Structure 1
Amino acid sequence: MRIYKVGGAVRDRLLGKPVTDIDWVVVGATTEEMLAKGFRPVGADFPVFLHPKSGEEYALARTERKSGRGYGGFTFHASPEVSLEEDLIRRDLTINAMAEDDQQNLTDPYHGQRDLEARLLRHVSPAFAEDPLRVLRVARFAARYAALGFTVAPETLELMRQLSESGELEALTPERSWKEISRALMEDQPQVFIEVLRACGALKVLMPEVDALFGVPQPPAHHPEIDTGAHTLSVLQQAALHNQPLTVRWACLLHDLGKGLTPEEEWPRHIAHEFKGLKLIKAVNERFKAPRDCQELAMLVGEYHTHGHRALELKPSTLLELLQSFDVYRRPQRFEEFIAACEMDARGREGLEQRSYPQADYLRGAATAARCVAVQPLLEQGFKGPELGEAIKRERLKALKAYKEAASV
């Protein structure tokens, strides 16, 4: 029995980056031997075990063979005869196909260290094209390591293009796709994830609504970058620079989908794009079964982001409707995330990345003013039921009028 550290832990140590998760592969062992040593089995499809003390995952060396469509369409074979090199060749990228023993002696049969130095994301073998999930994974790694100068090798991008055209991407489950998408959006340069998907043709398969934004112009006075797709990438980049949570990043990606529906004769204006985009945002949300908080914020940002930009001009009644739509009294965090998405949208424009966004504090102040309306005095006056609701609304409107007047002085 020989045990090796494999994959990301080896890669990140060689890059000088912090190692978080460690994967181990066991060569020359049987399931019975692992159980005898106290390892706990967890793998349903192939033998994976948890270490009795550390809880880390140890997998028996295995080979795989394509047997069906999609990410799960593989037959695995694990036995003591499977070599380390045979196990490593089934991995996606050369930089993930290295192993080291307990003395940090490197096993690198597919030149992963060379590609680390060349800053290349290169596939290990032609079998790469058998697994559609690898398109998303490579795009995610491109987003993670873009700051270090990594790019996708041309021959790997070509395989990704072939996968995108094969129909295999449609076989991915929403859960697997969302896992990769959500992880990619939380990388330091999530816009690179979208760029790579677009470069290999996967974006128009997975998110045609986002792909349709590229080449669609906007008014140069508000959008010096002009192209709606380029603007979306910039907004996503700003969200990462400002350490926004996943909910905000997802909303930033989808906020302008309605502009992809504007007839060319109406370009560069996009009348009512906020409302038109809602059905597209809903479709993308449902396609990937995004978590509920991500779905809700994306829909709200899509519908109301221009309200956010025009906050200082909104009538008190419109401002109250906005606050009601977000249920700021019970869900204050969601409104805070809406404000963040609006600010990222404002900053995601060429040359305007450092602009101030006074709308943010104004909206926070409006929410505070509305929240400060006391309900108890209205109860004491005898209001109840629907009448109480109307009375609260009148008082909140009065508070917002006072707030607006004070803010304009």
Structure 2
Amino acid sequence: MSANTPITQDVLTIPRKQPEGGKANLVGLTRDALHAALIAAGTPDKQAKMRAGQVWQWLYQKGVRSFDLMSNLSKDYRALLEEHFIIEVPEVVTKQVSEDGTRKYLVQIAGGHEVEIVYIPEESRGTLCVSSQVGCTLTCSFCHTGTQKLVRNLTAAEIIGQVMVARDDLGEWPELGKPNPPEARLLSNIVLMGMGEPLYNFENVRDAMKIAMDPEGISLSRRRITLSTSGVVPEIARTAEEIGCLLAISFHATTDEVRDKLVPINKRWNLQALLDALRAYPKASNSERITFEYVMLKGVNDSDEDAHRLMELIKGIPAKINLIPFNEWPGAPYERSSNNRIRAFADIVHNAGYASPVRKPRGEDIMAACGQLKSATERARKSRKQIEADAGLGK
């Protein structure tokens, strides 16, 4: 299979529900698609490029949700837009705020399904963890989201809509008629590390991130967007070519035997195939290192031997290693490595010349930490015994 061959799954991407009259949602359309939609609705060809630019700025620069507020458009044209289109983003069902300031949103999308979004405030930046699917197909045994069955892919509107919802809550859109100074930006980074495998929903993720990066809208640098994959090897090169963002890999093990249990996609593309793809990654450089995510599981993948083996495996790849203390969830079949064990592992990585930050768990009190996301209505009621059996850990 070539790097440019799209991965196909028996997973539907269902468009946002449309109200009576069949109005189309403008949110999530690429610039070209928006241009075409405006022409189809009756915009003269000669005006379409200008109108598309104006509507784009109202949607993504100013966060406007009503055509009536688009003041540089004539009343007649606003009426035309109202007749043919809607502006719709996911609906917030609940918001929880952690003691450390982390915010977790449960949002509802078409079909009554729910996904979770997490905003993590830090001193120098604010990171939004975005979901790409309802549920997940990968069944990684250490991940709470992985115990939820995959329902469907999110549309581009539902993905970029998560960013818009968070900006709503943060009060980050500028006042009409006033520019938003750079220091007012609370949401400065996006990580595609929420529910789902982004590379199994490539086109919608790509289109949503192109909107996020557009300089006339949300305007995030591609270096402020990180896509995390468990290792969908044929789509890795496309990520560099068609999105251009930073890449993170859910690595988590140093042998195929262990990774087959922790990250079952390894049975399809093993460590050798994954590492070959990463060595060829077009964007990999000292300034754009690949992040290896490594969850620390007591007695499973946290030995000194694992650390040394990891250093051998990634040799030659510009990389940093994010060590993630396991975030426990009800029924989890694993335990978090001790602080001393994590420090010893980190020292080996650091002494080999790699950055080895230990990720500080955020939002644990509201189940918003890495690997804990799982929407309430899709929760699969599994016992610890069932989860261990699924993970291949049964006695």
Same fold (TM over 0.5): no
- The alignment's TM-score, normalised by the length of structure 2, stands at 0.28
- Structure with greater strand share of residues: 2
- The alignment's TM-score, normalised by the length of structure 1, stands at 0.27
Rg (Cα) greater in structure: 1
Greater RCO, CA 8 A, separation 6+? 2
